[in-house]
Amino acid sequence: MPDLPSATANEHQPASDTVLRIVCPTQKRLLPALLAGFLLLFLLPKAVVGSGTSEEVSWLPLVVLAVMCLLVLATLYRSFVFRDALCIYRGSEVPDGLLVVAASSIRSVRALPAPQAWSAEGKWDSLGMYPGPIEIDTDSGAFRFGAGLSAWMVEETVDRIAVFCGLSSDSPPFLPRR
């Protein structure tokens, strides 16, 4: 069985079992790389050749090209560099931070179905911008987690979170504590 998402070299697990850290792998989607290649092959040469020697320069194509480059770079970053991370603390000493959750505040955790290719979520997923296939419901609201996890990793990660938080596993979306 392959390893589950785990902490990186700089994020070692503490010696005690009061913290569950999950760091997802990168997504490595193909579509952002194809978009970047399309941008380089077709749009950049047109912008350079199209500028010419005219004294009047139209800034609109350059601005549109710059915005498109930023969007493509954002999708490349999200697909090849970004790693989704979550820390769940058990006990009373929970530090402040982004995606740091107290185990006692988690009410339920569930694996969402994979998005269909023709849906809006499926299109965001192909670009690497899908928020994640795991939904964690807390006292303050629900959030998505797990960008980059494969289908078998999602189920294992949901089980790890549910066991760590002491949630009942009577039905697929784990029920609140009794």
Secondary structure, 3-state, the chain: CCCCCCCCCCCCCCCCCCEEEEECCCCCCCHHHHHHHHHHHHHHHHHHHHHCCCCCCCHHHHHHHHHHHHHHHHHHHHHHCCCCEEEEECCCCCCCCCCEEEHHHEEEEEECCCCCCCCHHHHHHHCCCCCCCEEEEECCEEEEECCCCCHHHHHHHHHHHHHHHCCECCCCCCECCC
Q: Does residue 160 surpass a pLDDT of 60?
A: yes
What token pair was written down for 37?
């290649």
The pLDDT value given to residue 135:
92
| Mean pLDDT to the nearest integer, 124-129 | 83
Q: Would you say 129 and 72 are in contact if contact means Cβ atoms under 8 Å apart?
A: no
What integer best gives the mean pLDDT of the chain?
A: 77
Residue 8, pLDDT score: 39
What is the number of alpha carbons within 13 Å of residue 157 lying toward its C-beta? 33
What are the domain boundaries of the chain?
19-27+82-165, 31-79
pTM score: 0.71
Asked which of 44-48, 161-165, 173-177 is least confident by mean pLDDT, the reply is 173-177
Lowest mean pLDDT across 13-22, 26-35, 83-92, 103-112: 13-22
Report the pLDDT averaged over residues 5-10: 39
